[in-house]
Structure 1
């Protein structure tokens, strides 16, 4: 299998997991929120400084359906990480000496 084909298949799988499988994720709070609810100090929690951001709390602002909103946020997250990691790869790659000089 070629490298391009491998990365293309990996990208499709990541997008499917982020966009489709996340639709079926549990709607129950994570472990820390659950413990805070059980012990009674959930009301003392403060919102994050990013609580008003477009992708806060694994949701996409402007989309009313929570599951669809989470899937869209997941796909956006995958694409942002792809862009960042590709950019980092190109920066690091250009710093390496060329094989033609050897």
Structure 2
């Protein structure tokens, strides 16, 4: 909810948004990468930022509570959690053959 004034609390949802990236579109294994950002404007003064490790864990827990299945290791069939030391944590969703040459 970009440009909101604290509606996360009123709607009882976590204060996160997603930045989406399509990678290797048209390739052998295209993916949709979703990077959560902390976007509660009342706390960030309209300056969203990447989530920290604790917030990412909260975000993943929220998704799982909603019934989203996330693998802990890379998967060609299911969404998985990408954790690296020097890159933002993200959710990677493999896309089917309609988006690549597989």
Band of TM-score, shorter chain = under 0.3
**Would you tell me which structure has more strand in proportion to its own residues?**
2
Give the number of the structure with larger relative contact order, counting CA–CA contacts within 8 Å between residues 6 or more apart.
Answer: 1
- Which protein has the larger Cα radius of gyration, Structure 1 or Structure 2? 1
TM-score by length of 1: 0.24
**Would you tell me which structure has more helix in proportion to its own residues?**
1
